[in-house]
Amino acid sequence: MTRQILAIDDEEAIRIILKASLEFTAGWTVLTAASGQAGFAIAQTEQPDAILLDVMMPETDGITLFHQLQAEASTQKIPIIFLTAQAREVERKRLEALGCGVILKPFEPEIIAQQVRTLLDWQKS
Amino acid sequence: MQPDPLDPNFAEATSLHPAVVPVLVCVPPNTPTAEAIALMSEAQTSYVLITQQQRPIGIFTERDLVRLIASSQFAPSQPISTVMSASVKTLCTADIQDTLRIFQQMQQHQLRHLPVVNESQQLVGIVTKESLRQTLTFSTLLKLKQVEEVMQTEVICASADTMVRQIAKKMNEHRVSCVVILDAGDRPVGIITEHDIVQFQTLGLALDQTPAQTVMSTPLLPIHPKDSLWKTHQQMNQRRVRRFVVCRPDGELAGLITQSSLLQALNPAEVQQMIELLQQEAEQLRTEHQALLEARNRELRARQAVLTEKLKTEQAEHQKADDQIRFQAGLLDVVAQAVIATDQAGYILYWNRYAQTLYGWSAEAVMGRSILEIMPDLKAQAKAAALINRLRQQEVWSGELLVQRQDGSQFPAWVVLSPTCNEQGQVCGIVGIADDISDRKRLEAERSAADTALKLAYRKLDQSHEALESRVATRTAALRQAEHRWRSLLEEVQLVVIGLDLTGKVTYANPFFLELVGYTAEAVIHADWVSCFISPSERAQVSDYFQQLNLQREIPSQHQNTILTKSGKERIIVWKNTLLRDLQNNVIGSMSIGEDITERFAIDRIKGEFVAMVSHELRTPLTAIHGGVKLLSQGIVPSQSDQGQALFQVVVQSSQRLVRLVDDILTLERLESGEYPLHKQFINSQTVTRQVTDALRVMAREANMVIEVCDPGIPILADSDRITQVLTNLLDNAIKFSPPGSTIHLTVESREGQGDPHVLFAVCDQGKGIPAEQQPTIFERFVQADQTGNREKGGTGLGLTICRNIVEQHGGKIWVESRLGEGSCFFVTLPIEPSKTS
């Protein structure tokens, strides 16, 4: 079964790298969104298997969007993995405390799919 | 003609009654009228009696003359008998009784003259109203009555210009003896009487041509309605007049008082009333006298009783004094002191029972002997003799004497000697009181020894006390010094120092704290620390902290919280806390020393944010480069595929962005640290604008935009490269954020009118504008109005920050004015230095 992943990041370069990495290494379908609000709309309509969510975004940032998704019945069950450029331990713990997986930037494109599987406890598919 | 007391007629007349006076003017019937009148005038009488052989046959009065004048029938040479009143009413001497009866007879016949005749009808005198009035002696009655009670109120008056004859006519017409003359205001100013008419006639006045005012009697004697009749009577006597005009105090005419009025006051009914009144008074006086007499008797009896009582008391006192003497003698015998009395030579007169016990001699054995005989030796005898001499000078002596008992043994005695005096105050003896003081002497010796020991102990105590005080003083000085040192430290230290008691009330606050929060010491001391100074969100936590601290629980001595200043601002303080203890080691509060880290905290936060931003900004292109290169180099994405090409482009763009970012960060860092000195020189503004437009024209054309420049060419003093950098940045932004087909304006103008002269550069676009709330912050690092699109447009988020830095280094300003949907204008001013503008 092909997984569908939603990648939300305001940086186009990151969206391109993420899409290429996941599609070429895991064969998942990758949807992308350039802002929090666009991502929220796609999440509701497409019901992806997981969301890769950038923390630092203008307007609706990652944390705000996380709460928005949690509050919405149709999206609250979608697992979320945060992408952050903040290398600080404090920041990582804060995100993990929300019950989410965290992947740091810069990430390794060849293993990011594996990281997602591990975090979400997915069997290889 | 005055009555002559020697005239036998007068003597006879007055002996009959005081009112019977001698007849002053008598004429025979053939006397011419004028002559008779002249006599009348001369004698000042009101009548002329016409007699024949000493018998009265007629009378001619003033009134008769007035009548003649009034009717103009007066003929001077006519005999008096033709004009006299022929029917003369007389009074016989035998009928004369009292004054009242005579007056009643005169009133009855309306007469003013009553000739008095003897039994043979011979004239002996006359009674006139004047003579009657002069006999009035009822002074009390007259004093009691007032003029208004008896005066005539019907008065005949005339104006002052009335001729005398008219006056006479009025008198005759109204049968009155006088006319009152009034002034123009109807006030009485004078009087003309019948008597006056007589005088005028005598003087030959032209009565038809003489107005009253020239001859009237004036001024009038002021007689008032309230005056007594007695006063009036006296005035009549003094002034020899027969009537008075009565005027009210305001000068209005009230009436006339005549001799008849006075005499009328004496009617019998009045007199009877007076007598009754006097009888009542006498009765009252008698009663009062009786009462006084009785009171006096009572007083005397009372005084006698008092004296008797006093006598009894004195007798009782005598008795008591006797008893007292006996009692005192008894006392002297039982008293536990020897009492001895001697005469002034020292011979013993009294020797009480205790003296017998003390000295061993019985009273019988010593009575009559000299006191010196009981002295132990010659020395004591000499002293005693000297004392007796002193006592004779009335001195009192007390002191110690050595005395000998009958058995020869001696003892010290305390003796008080005083002289006794007789009634004349002369010394007549001596009384001595003596006491055996052997025991007392012994006790005194013992006490003296104890005193000495005590004094010694006190001295030692004093010494140690002094040493202690000296130590305390030294210690206090040291403490003061330490206290001073601490206090000045607390007062001057640039740290907050707060003392709290166990209830959380402020007990001390140093000046630094007061300055920080903006309160006075009075407002702070005793205030509740947590509720007054701690930020509401931290109150529970701070309150809990101090509870734990005061209970000496294991908690960190350092903590951080936010305090509120008077103006409501927050300051972040990091505290170090210590417990304060009293001498018994009980905790009494806490002392907290705090550092205001508000600024440091803000800097740290900004630094942290900057690091986070930089980290984010760096990691993003790095992630893209790293990811793209790996996917391509490991062949995960075929390089020839579309995705592969896209990855290549991502890598290239990200690399460029990384380079720009590093460049901008370095530029900013150098600008801020001053490593980039400005190379200012005079340039023409057109040089700059041309450079900028040349560089960006291609980019604009690609974006389908037009750049319009309006630059008159103004000389400016600036670092050409830096200003070019600023304008390039602004124009680059304008191109990036404007829709295709729009025009971008770059204008330069000189502003000299307002404030300091300056050059104004403006870059205006037709983009979507910047929200008002973002306008103040867009010059901060990594703040971008349109963040969503910026990354794609290659912005680093540092461009405007660099611009601001350069402009401010030139002493200029940069700001933005923008409206959403219409576009934005970025303005830059550069000052024109005054010396160069000319």
How does pLDDT run across B30-71, given as a tens digit for each residue? 999 989 888 888 888 889 999 988 889 999 998 888 888 888
Chain B residues in contact with A21 by the CB 8 A cut-off are: 627, 631, 636
Give the pLDDT score at B401. 80
How much is the average pLDDT of B250-265? 84
pLDDT of res. A89: 82
* Chain B residues with beta carbon closer than 8 angstroms to that of A108: 630
How confident is the model over B530-582, as pLDDT tens digits? 999 998 889 999 999 999 988 888 888 888 899 999 998 989 999 998 888 88
Q: Domain end: B671, B686, B702, which one? A: B671
Asked whether residue A94 is domain-assigned, the answer is no
pLDDT at B307: 92
Best CA proximity match to B63, nearest among B206, B140, B176: B176
**Residue B749: is its pLDDT beyond 50?**
yes
pLDDT band at B790 (very low <50, low <70, confident <90, very high): low
Question: What is the predicted pLDDT for the residue at B638?
Answer: 92
Q: Is A58 on the interface with B (CB under 8 A)?
A: yes
pLDDT at B794: 61
Range of the domain at B54: 8-135
What is the pLDDT, as a whole number, of residue B374?
A: 76
Are B121 and B153 members of one domain?
Answer: no
Q: Output the pLDDT for position B135.
A: 78
Indicate whether A46 pLDDT > 90. yes
The total of structural domains in chain A comes to 1
Give the residue carrying structure tokens 């995100």: A95
Average pLDDT over residues B172-199: 89
User: Does a structural domain hold residue B451?
Assistant: no
pLDDT value at residue B97:
74
Instruction: Give the pLDDT mean for B427-432.
Output: 85
* Cβ contact B634–A110 (<8 Å): yes
pLDDT score at B624: 92
Q: Could A110 and B654 be called an inter-chain contact, meaning their C-beta atoms sit closer than 8 Å?
A: no
A96: left (phi over 0), alpha (psi -120 to 50) or beta: alpha
- Domain for residue B460, yes or no? no
B698 exposure class (CB count in 10 Å sphere: 0-12, 13-18, 19+): exposed
> Are the beta carbons of B788 and A24 separated by less than 8 Å?
no
Q: Please report how many Cα atoms fall inside a 13 Å half-sphere around the Cα of residue A61, on the Cβ side.
A: 6
Of the listed ranges A12-16, A22-26, B14-18, the least confidently predicted one is B14-18
Interchain pair A110, B623: CB under 8 A:
no
| Residue A125 falls inside a structural domain | no
Task: With respect to residue A96, please indicate whether it lies within any of the assigned structural domains.
Answer: no
A113-122, B138-147, B679-688, B816-825: which has the minimum mean pLDDT?
A: B138-147
Chain B nearest CA to A54, separation (Å)? 11
- Number of structural domains found in chain B: 7
- Would you say B256 and B178 are in contact if contact means Cβ atoms under 8 Å apart? yes
Contact B595, B516 (CB under 8 A): no
Out of B637, B787, B792, closest to residue A24 by CB: B637
User: What pLDDT does B837 receive?
Assistant: 41
d(C-alpha B91, C-alpha B465), whole Å: 135
Q: A86 to chain B: which residues are within 8 Å by CB?
A: 612, 615-616
Domain presence at residue B273 = no
For an interface test with A, the pick among B615, B617, B623, B637 (most A C-beta atoms closer than 10 Å) comes out as: B623
Of B485 and A113, the structure prediction assigns the larger pLDDT to A113
pLDDT on residue B8: 47
Task: Please report whether residue B447 resides in a domain.
Answer: no
For residue B788, give the nearest of A10, A21, A85 by CB distance.
A10
CATH number, position B526: 3.30.450.20
Judge if B169 and B233 occupy the same domain: yes
Rounded-to-integer distance, Cα B113 and Cα B127, Å: 6
In-domain check, residue B33? yes
A34 domain residue, yes or no: yes
Residue B446: inside a domain? no
Length of chain A: 125
Note whether B627 contacts A21, CB cutoff 8 Å.
yes
pLDDT, tens digit (0-9, with 9 covering 90-100), for B231-242:
888 888 888 888
Give me chain B's average pLDDT, please.
Answer: 85
Helix (H, G, I), strand (E, B) or coil at B575: strand
Please check whether residues B615 and B663 belong to one and the same domain: yes
Strands (E), B266-386: 338-343, 348-351
> Touching check for A89 and chain B: CB below 8 Å?
no
Give, for B717, the enclosing helix (H) or strand (E). Answer: strand B715-718
pLDDT digits (tens, 9 = 90+) for B331-341: 777 777 888 88
Structure tokens at B604: 């740290």
A-chain CB neighbours of B619 within 8 Å are: 85, 105-106
* End position of a domain, from candidates B207, B239, B266: B266
CB proximity B291 to A under 8 Å: no
Regarding whether B325 and B340 lie in a shared domain, the answer is no
The reported pLDDT for the residue numbered B62 is 87
Side-chain-side CA neighbours of B757 within 13 Å: the count stands at 13
Question: What are the pLDDT digits (tens) for B64-99?
Answer: 888 888 888 888 888 998 889 888 888 888 887 777
Tell me, yes or no, whether B353 lies in a domain: yes
Same domain, yes or no, for B327 and B350?
no
Looking at residues A100-105, what average pLDDT do you find? 90
**Same domain, yes or no: B90 and B115:** yes
- The pLDDT tens digits for B802-813 are 999 999 989 899
Query: Residue B458: is its pLDDT beyond 60?
Result: yes
Cβ of B793 under 8 Å from any chain A Cβ?
no
> CB–CB of B647 and A59 under 8 A?
no
Interface contact flag, A17 B621, Cβ < 8 Å: no
Query: Measured between alpha carbons, how far apart are the two ends of chain B, in Å?
Result: 143
Q: Judge whether A111 is closer than 8 Å to chain B, CB to CB.
A: no
User: Chain B contacts of A18, Cβ < 8 Å?
Assistant: 627
Task: Show the beta-strand stretches assigned E in B366-444.
Answer: 397-404, 410-421, 427-436
Choose one of B596, B620, B636: the last residue of a domain.
B596
Q: What is the average pLDDT across B627-648?
A: 92
Say if the Cβ atoms of B791 and A11 lie within 8 Å: yes
Is residue B787 over pLDDT 70?
Answer: no
Q: What is the CATH number of the domain that holds B814?
A: 3.30.565.10
Structure pTM? 0.42
What pLDDT is attached to residue B637? Answer: 92
- Same-domain check for residues B817 and B715: yes
Residue carrying the six token digits 């030294």? B474
**pLDDT, tens digit (0-9, with 9 covering 90-100), for B145-164:** 888 888 888 899 999 899 99
Residues A60-87: pLDDT tens digits?
889 999 999 999 999 999 999 999 887 7
pLDDT score at B322: 84
Domain check: are B765 and B635 in the same one?
no
Give the pLDDT score at B221: 81
Distance from CA of B628 to the nearest CA of A (A): 6
How many residue pairs bridge chain A and chain B with CB atoms within 8 Å of each other?
Answer: 88
Contact B69, B46 (CB under 8 A): no
Higher-pLDDT residue of A95 and B325 is A95
Q: Is residue B478 part of a domain?
A: no
Domain identity same for B579 and B688: no
Of A17, A20, A105, the CB nearest to B619: A105
Q: Note whether A115 contacts B: Cβ–Cβ < 8 A.
A: no
pLDDT score recorded for residue B305: 92
Residue among B631, B791, B792 whose CB faces A20 most closely = B631
CATH of the domain at A11: 3.40.50.2300
What mean pLDDT is predicted for residues A40-51?
95
Contact A53, A60 (CB under 8 A): no
Q: Residue A30 belongs to what domain range?
A: 4-88+101-120
- Tell me which residue in B631, B653, B788 faces A21 most closely, judged by beta carbons: B631
pLDDT at position B415 is: 85
Calculate the CA dihedral of residues B173, B175, B177, B182 and round it to 10 degrees. Answer: -40
Asked if the C-beta of B787 comes within 8 angstroms of chain A's C-beta atoms, the answer is yes
In a domain, A93, yes or no: no
Instruction: Pick the residue from chain B with its C-alpha nearest to A16.
Output: B647
Contact B428, B343 (CB under 8 A): yes
pLDDT of B284 > 60? The answer is yes
The pLDDT confidence band at residue B6, using thresholds 50, 70 and 90, is very low
B628 with B753, same domain? no
Q: Which of A12, A14, A112 to mutate to test the interface with B (most CBs of B within 10 A)?
A: A14
* pLDDT above 60 (res B835): no
Asked whether the predicted pLDDT for residue B789 surpasses 60, the reply is no
The predicted complex's ipTM stands at 0.92
B573 with B610, same domain: the answer is no
Check whether residue B766 and residue B816 sit in a common domain: yes
What's the pLDDT at A125? 56
